[in-house]
């Protein structure tokens, strides 16, 4: 069994990271840094910031991205903001408050030490990004502006209208391209990682496929960093970019890296509702809209078909304000999502499908005027109009929860290294900071913290124990075996199937339907057991009947998707298994058997205050569930309440 040793430094919580950097971390001298080569897979916020920073320190860096440019990374889609404990509003914020809100928001299922470090580092992120020219919103006097986000009672979210992810990514991208121009980073676009190479138990390279030519290549390194994002597209319909996938972390899992808490999926409450089977993805309406928008449904079922303007104020149920008066419309995402589902389950949902609630800006327009609302959220209103052909200035938006983020990912220790030495995992690809639920504006914070301020220290601690110049040859047996494994997978996918099962996209839709019904916003023992029967049957059918056109030696997007969907099917099974094993409700993992009478999550701290790290045992075999206990020294576990 894998040893999930967290390697949390000793000492008082506020001092751990500072003292660890100053006293315990081993260093690599500048002359030796030039002798080490690091592979970074992914070039979103975590990947670009890590590549830029490591190369500035002197390491040789190779960056792989399956897009044609890092600017297409999904980080660009983040809208609302990035958290930092600057307390510019003088409203009582602090590093401790951000730490506590994040621990509580994750339903006490995250590591204290990692989260406190994230809160500490947050204050540096803003300074770094301002220095790069990120155009954060500012108050009239020139100071940086803040707004509130769910799960917090202070204003700590820095933003650039509704384009925060885009602006932060352009900042990290500029830092990356500066280093590429200096020859310190080599960027390989349109290269998808298909396997991890492990030699003597340590990560020493990767196998990639060029998406334009089909060429499969071997790459050696002294350490490998995965910053490849989340796996929410296992549900097919989600707010992720359509190309977002789990292949890099899943292939690393098959090489020995433990997969932690795969069942922790975040459902975002403010997405444009599904409108038909033809959709390939869903669109997020930023959580920042909940600062000024009020969420409601009709009190009476018979009013649901009426235009919202015809429903009198006294006939509207502002249910978040009613149920959670302390936080109101800024209740956390998991809490708000389940509340919306309850309203629709009661028959009070709106829209053609009945799966929608209103997000109403009438009060905000009265306060600020239409121009004031447009200044705050104009591009988001434009997106809504493009998709629905409705003006949210004149009629309320219709929203409904959708898959948005995954808190699970590869297990990492305090150094952000997996249980496979030399394999580091950053950003959403790891499980590290969010517990069972991510608070809004924390994803951008984590990606930048990991890349700019954490891994540049901790990777040196690992490399200090690696002999300079000991990088293996790509002609060795481990690389040959890994390449053969990749080639055989593609041969298997291209082998003529019966075609009876439909296209790759058809299988993905079927998997998504199983996942949403069996392991979605609410799970039960019965639905999860059903999923664990249906998914293996779907996998068997997939490999027997799917037909993938074309060949592997050129551009073949059908083959790309087939490769990724094969991994999604296996991952979906592990998610159901993890959710079935975790007999409690916490954050985004809501088991209907485990809830309080008012519908809130009922945790089992005695039996499940731990991280579940799954270890691959081979196809068709029972996977091993390893456990890392979560010990809270500073925060007292309590019933999570926002009322």
Query: What tens digit of pLDDT does each residue of 555-596 get?
Result: 999 999 999 999 999 999 999 999 999 999 999 999 999 999
pTM, rounded to two decimals: 0.97
What is the CA 263 to chain-centroid distance, rounded?
13
Q: Cα angle at 38 between 36 and 41, to 5 degrees?
A: 175
Q: What token pair was written down for 446?
A: 């984590």
For 553-558, the CB contacts below 8 A with 24+ separation are 553/213, 553/214, 553/215, 554/212, 554/213, 554/214, 555/211, 555/212, 555/213, 555/214, 556/214, 558/503, 558/504
What is the CA 80 to chain-centroid distance, rounded?
15
Domain(s) labelled CATH 3.50.50.60 in the chain stretch across 13-37+62-173+181-203+211-264+407-463
Taking each continuous run of H as one helix and of E as one strand, the counts in the chain are 17, 19
Kind and range of the H or E run holding 606:
helix 605-608
**What sections of 408-556 are H helices per DSSP?**
443-448, 455-463, 477-494, 504-519, 525-545
Domain(s) labelled CATH 1.20.58.100 in the chain stretch across 477-613
Instruction: Give the pLDDT band (50/70/90) at residue 276.
Output: confident
Catalytic residue among 333, 338, 510, 591: 333
Instruction: Give the pLDDT band (50/70/90) at residue 278.
Output: confident
More confident residue, 286 or 608: 608
Give per-residue pLDDT as tens, 503-551. 999 999 999 999 999 999 999 999 999 999 999 999 999 999 998 999 9
Question: Can you give the C-alpha Rg of the chain in angstroms?
Answer: 24
100 has a pLDDT exceeding 90: yes
Quick one: pLDDT at residue 498?
A: 60
Q: How far apart are CA 152 and CA 441, in angstroms?
A: 11
Q: How far apart are CA 419 and CA 337, in angstroms?
A: 34
Q: What token pair was written down for 442?
A: 């924390």
Q: How far apart are CA 298 and CA 319, in angstroms?
A: 10
Contact (CB, 8 A) for 437 and 338: no
Quick one: pLDDT at residue 162?
A: 85
List the CATH code of the domain at 268-403.
3.90.700.10
Pair type for strands 216-220 and 202-210: antiparallel
| CATH T-level assignment (fold) for domain 477-613 | Methane Monooxygenase Hydroxylase; Chain G, domain 1 (1.20.58)
Q: Confirm whether 111 is a catalytic residue.
A: no
Point out which residues pair with 216 in neighbouring strands: 209
Contact (CB, 8 A) for 122 and 83: yes
454 has a pLDDT exceeding 90: yes
Q: How far apart are CA 166 and CA 618, in angstroms?
A: 40
What is the CA 399 to chain-centroid distance, rounded?
21
598 has a pLDDT exceeding 70: yes
Q: How far apart are CA 285 and CA 302, in angstroms?
A: 27
Q: How far apart are CA 608 and CA 224, in angstroms?
A: 31
Tokens 């790509």 correspond to what residue? 474
Instruction: Give the pLDDT band (50/70/90) at residue 34.
Output: very high
Quick one: pLDDT at residue 499?
A: 62
Instruction: Give the pLDDT band (50/70/90) at residue 443.
Output: very high
Quick one: pLDDT at residue 377?
A: 92
Point out which residues pair with 186 in neighbouring strands: 62
CA proximity to 227, closest of 357, 408, 44: 44
pLDDT, average across residues 450-454? 98
| CATH T-level assignment (fold) for domain 13-37+62-173+181-203+211-264+407-463 | FAD/NAD(P)-binding domain (3.50.50)
Q: How far apart are the first and last CA of the chain?
A: 42
């Amino acid at each position: 069994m894998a040893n999930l040793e967290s390697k949390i430094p000793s000492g008082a919580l506020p001092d751990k990271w500072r003292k660890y950097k100053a006293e315990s971390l081993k260093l690599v001298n500048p002359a030796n840094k030039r002798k080490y080569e690091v592979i970074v897979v992914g070039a979103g916020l975590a990947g670009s910031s890590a590549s830029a920073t490591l190369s500035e320190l002197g390491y040789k860096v190779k960056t792989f991205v399956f897009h044609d440019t890092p600017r297409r990374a999904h980080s660009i889609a983040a809208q609302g903001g990035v958290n930092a404990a600057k307390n510019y509003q003088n409203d009582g914020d602090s590093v401790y408050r951000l730490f506590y809100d994040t621990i509580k928001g994750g339903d006490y299922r995250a590591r204290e030490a990692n989260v406190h470090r994230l809160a500490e580092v947050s204050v540096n992120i803003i300074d770094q990004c301002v220095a790069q020219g990120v155009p954060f919103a500012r108050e009239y006097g020139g100071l940086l502006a803040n707004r509130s986000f769910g799960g917090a009672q202070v204003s700590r979210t820095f933003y650039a209208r509704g384009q925060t992810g885009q602006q932060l990514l352009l900042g990290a991208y500029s830092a990356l391209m500066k280093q590429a121009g200096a020859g310190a980073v080599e960027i390989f676009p349109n290269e998808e990682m298909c396997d991890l190479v492990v030699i003597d138990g340590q990560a020493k390279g990767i196998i990639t496929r060029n998406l334009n030519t089909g060429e499969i290549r071997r790459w050696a390194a002294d350490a490998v960093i995965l910053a490849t994002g989340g796996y929410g597209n296992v549900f097919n319909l989600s707010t992720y970019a359509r190309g977002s996938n789990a292949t890099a972390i899943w292939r690393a899992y098959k090489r020995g890296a433990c997969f932690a808490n795969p069942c922790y999926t975040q459902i975002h409450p403010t997405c444009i509702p599904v409108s038909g089977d033809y959709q390939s993805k869903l669109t997020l309406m930023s959580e920042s809209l909940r600062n000024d928008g009020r969420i409601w449904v009709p009190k009476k079922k018979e009013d649901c078909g009426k235009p919202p303007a015809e429903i009198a104020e006294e006939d509207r149920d502002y249910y978040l304000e009613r149920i959670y008066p302390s936080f109101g419309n800024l209740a956390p995402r998991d809490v708000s999502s389940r509340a919306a589902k309850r309203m629709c389950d009661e028959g009070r949902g709106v829209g053609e499908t009945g799966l929608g609630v209103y997000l109403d800006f009438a009060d905000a327009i009265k306060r600020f005027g239409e121009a004031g609302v447009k200044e705050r959220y104009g591009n988001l209103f434009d997106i809504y109009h493009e998709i629905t052909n409705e003006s949210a200035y004149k009629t309320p938006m219709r929203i409904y929860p959708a898959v948005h983020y995954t808190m699970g990912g590869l297990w990492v220790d305090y150094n952000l290294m997996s249980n496979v030495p030399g394999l580091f995992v950053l950003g959403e690809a790891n499980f590290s900071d969010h517990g069972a639920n991510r608070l809004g504006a924390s994803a951008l914070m984590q990606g930048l913290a990991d890349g700019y301020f954490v891994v540049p220290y901790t990777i040196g601690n690992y490399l200090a124990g690696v002999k300079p110049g000991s990088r293996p040859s790509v002609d060795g047996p481990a690389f040959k075996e890994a390449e053969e494994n990749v080639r055989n997978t593609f041969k298997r996918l291209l082998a003529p199937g019966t075609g009876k099962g439909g296209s790759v996209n058809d299988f993905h839709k079927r998997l998504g339907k199983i996942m949403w019904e069996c392991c979605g916003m609410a799970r039960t023992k019965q639905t999860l057991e059903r999923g664990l029967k249906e998914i293996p049957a779907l996998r068997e059918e997939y490999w027997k009947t799917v037909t993938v056109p074309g060949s592997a030696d050129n551009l073949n997007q059908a083959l790309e998707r087939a490769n990724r969907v094969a991994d999604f099917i296996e991952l979906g099974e592990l998610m159901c298994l993890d959710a079935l094993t975790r007999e409690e409700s916490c954050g985004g993992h809501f088991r209907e058997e485990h809830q309080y009478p008012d519908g809130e999550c009922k945790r089992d701290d005695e039996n499940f205050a731990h991280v579940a790290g799954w270890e691959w045992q081979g196809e068709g075999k029972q996977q091993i569930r390893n456990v890392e206990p979560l010990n809270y020294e500073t925060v007292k576990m309590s019933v999570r309440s926002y009322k």
